[in-house]
Amino acid sequence: MAEFVDEAQLHAKAGDGGAGSVSFRREAHVDKGGPDGGDGGRGGDVWLVADRNQASLLGFRDHPFRRAENGVHGSGKKRHGASGSDTVVPVPVGTVVKSLAGELLCDLSVEGDRWLCAEGGRGGHGNARFLSNRRRAPRFAEQGEDGQELWFDLVLKLVADVALVGYPNVGKSTLIASISAAKPKIADYPFTTLLPNLGVVRYGSRDDAVEYVVADIPGLIEGAAEGKGLGHLFLRHIERARVLVILLDLSDPGGVTPEQQCAVLLDELGRYQPSLLERPRLLVGSRADMASGDMDTSFCDLVISSVTRQGLDELIRQAATLVAEARATQVSVQESEIRVHRPAKEGIVVERQDDGAYVVRGRAAERAVRLSDLTDDGALDEAVRRLEKLGVDRMLSRAGVHEGDRVIVGDLEFSWWRDQASEGLDPSSLPRRPQRKKRAAS
């Protein structure tokens, strides 16, 4: 039997874009053929898709890495590189995606929901794209953009119709084994169940049968809402349940009466999430075969025994009725209305380092300087034009940059230039350096 895993991490690496080509026409009887370098292909994206055929996050525990295909480089004769294939990663319905800092990013609660977790890099333009009246023979191209590479925390919140809630060793596992084909671990000691078990229950004839999923939630104790006894790990699996079945032990365990059990369980549910108290619920007295003759069960909706099967048929019927009513009142999502989630586009920001240098961050700014040969005057002019078009010069001025300050954008480092008439990016201040050097001081 496969292990149930409800917490894991994901490392998503989107594909890098292919580089543009620097090429010129070379044909017989064609004097000074123009540029014909093709564009690089786009890198593939990494998508998360909610899939009901996935039961847990087990596949991410030992292998959290998911990578998309890189784009192909462009080539001569204006041949563009092929785009990289996307990688589609199926996850269970009910998967919540968070950043490593704990920020909620996406909730894939409906089958078919898609989320773009890592965007592929755009392919670079070939030198044919930079042809103009002023620039007749561009000898530079654009490098492909790096695909996003990110880590995420994945948390699974079960999507079940009925959640069995109760103290440890109250008979939840025995009950789900009696009314479904589930085979959970059953033993006569507390906290036998440490992970949720799911079972499918069918009620009614073939034409009007109701099928619903029952979740055996590990036992809760007083203080579970504060995390005692792994309470938070267990309570999150109750959040999406349509109906709650509160199991109360009638065998008088440790002198805790069923009324006291009910009060503690409802208090813990309300403190964890107040809306849980508004869900349809059944108060069910469990282990009736072990109850004393004078036990007061008047406050229970039902009294059952999973061993003797007392009251099980009525429990199945009443739970099916509540599930059908809850489904009817819930806003249904059409299969064609699949939600596609995309992260908000990041902007450009200017940060000042401890050494006084100004660093410009943002994919658009970094892409603006990803040219193949920054020692070429035409490439430097193009980089300056792009940065000015993005408003980087105005942002640096607002950030307080002064003449001679170092400015870093991606792999490019230059000095800020200013005079009395104007201010901005001066191509003459940009370094002419061999391409093999990653970064050099101005």
Is the separation of the CB atoms in 21 and 127 below 8 Å?
yes
If 0-12 CB within 10 Å is exposed, 13-18 middle and 19+ buried, where does residue 414 land?
buried
3-state SS class at 55: coil
| Terminal Cα-to-Cα distance of the chain (whole angstroms) | 63
Size (the chain), residues: 442
Q: Is 438 exposed, middle or buried (0-12, 13-18, 19+ CB in 10 A)?
A: exposed
Whether pTM > 0.85 for this model: the answer is: no
- Is residue 301 within 8 A of residue 246, CB to CB? The reply is no
Q: Are 84 and 31 contacting, i.e. CB atoms less than 8 angstroms apart?
A: no
Calpha distance 305→322 (Å, rounded): 21
Q: What are phi and psi of 35, to 5 degrees?
A: -70, 140
Two structure tokens written together for 339: 């939600």
DSSP bridge partners of 15: none
d(CA 299, CA 266): 14
Task: Identify whether the C-beta of residue 327 lies closer than 8 Å to the C-beta of residue 211.
Answer: no
Q: What domains can you pick out in the chain, each with its CATH number? A: 7-156 (2.70.210.12), 162-329 (3.40.50.300), 349-429 (3.30.300.350)
Q: What tens-digit pLDDT sequence spans the chain (442 residues)?
A: 345 678 899 999 999 999 999 999 887 777 778 899 999 999 999 999 998 778 778 889 889 999 999 999 999 999 999 999 999 999 988 899 999 999 999 999 888 899 999 999 999 999 999 998 888 889 999 999 999 999 999 998 877 889 888 888 788 888 888 888 656 544 443 444 456 777 878 887 766 778 788 888 876 655 544 444 444 456 777 888 889 999 888 887 667 788 888 888 888 888 888 888 899 999 998 888 887 767 777 888 899 988 888 999 999 999 999 988 887 876 544 444 567 777 777 788 999 988 889 999 988 888 888 888 888 888 888 888 888 898 988 898 888 888 888 999 987 888 887 543 344 555 555 555 444 433 433 3
* H-helix segments, 172-220: 172-179
